[in-house]
A = this chain, B = another copy of it.
Amino acid sequence: MSNSHSHHHHHDDDRDKDEVLARYMAQHGLKSTRQRSLIIDTFFAVGGHLSVEELWNKVREQDTKVSVATVYRTMKLLSECGLAHARNFGDGQTRYEAAAGRDHHDHLVCTGCGTIIEFENERIEALQDAVARRHGFKVTSHKMELYGLCRECQRGGPVASEA
């Protein structure tokens, strides 16, 4: 339900992403390797909010001997060039989510079953900017999470926890 009104066309997201990545790598003298490509492709293909370990598992389905270290290093890269955002939802792990070509969005996190729903709200964004301006801040990014119980969990009681 996202990618509705991008300023461009259909799969420009992908193109943008690749461009951003290529430019960044060139500027920083980085090399394109089999592992990096695999990790990055997997990351964008799977989507969602992946912990490094989850991503690592997915990656290893393709190439058994990619090391976690490489996944950590690659995700840090993606994060630095703005194609992924690191998030912390309170479970001990850092989770990454794709950022390219997406409007900013925030999260509703169900503390019962762990479901994460994304949403966007322009009016909130506008107010955030206003607040920041009022404090003399130049905002570069933000995150917002609402924690609570989803419809299901309000009824039947929380579904068994599953980390």
Contacts and interface: CB of A to CB of B under 8 A. Distances in A.
A137 B108 contact: yes
A145 B90 CA distance: 15
A8 to B, nearest CB: 26
A79 to B, nearest CB: 10
A106 B86 CA distance: 19
Secondary structure at the A interface, as helix, strand, loop or mixed, is: strand
Interface in A103-158: 106, 108, 110-111, 117, 119, 121, 123-124, 127-128, 131-132, 135-151, 154
A62 interface: no
- What is the total number of copies of this protein in its complex? 2
B148 A138 contact: yes
A70 interface: no
A141 B138 CA distance: 26
Contacts of A108: 131-132, 135, 137, 139
Contacts of A132: 108, 146, 148
A94 to B, nearest CB: 9
A88 interface: yes
Given A121-B127, A127-B121, A132-B108, A142 B145 contact: yes
Interface of A: 86, 88, 90, 106, 108, 110-111, 117, 119, 121, 123-124, 127-128, 131-132, 135-151, 154
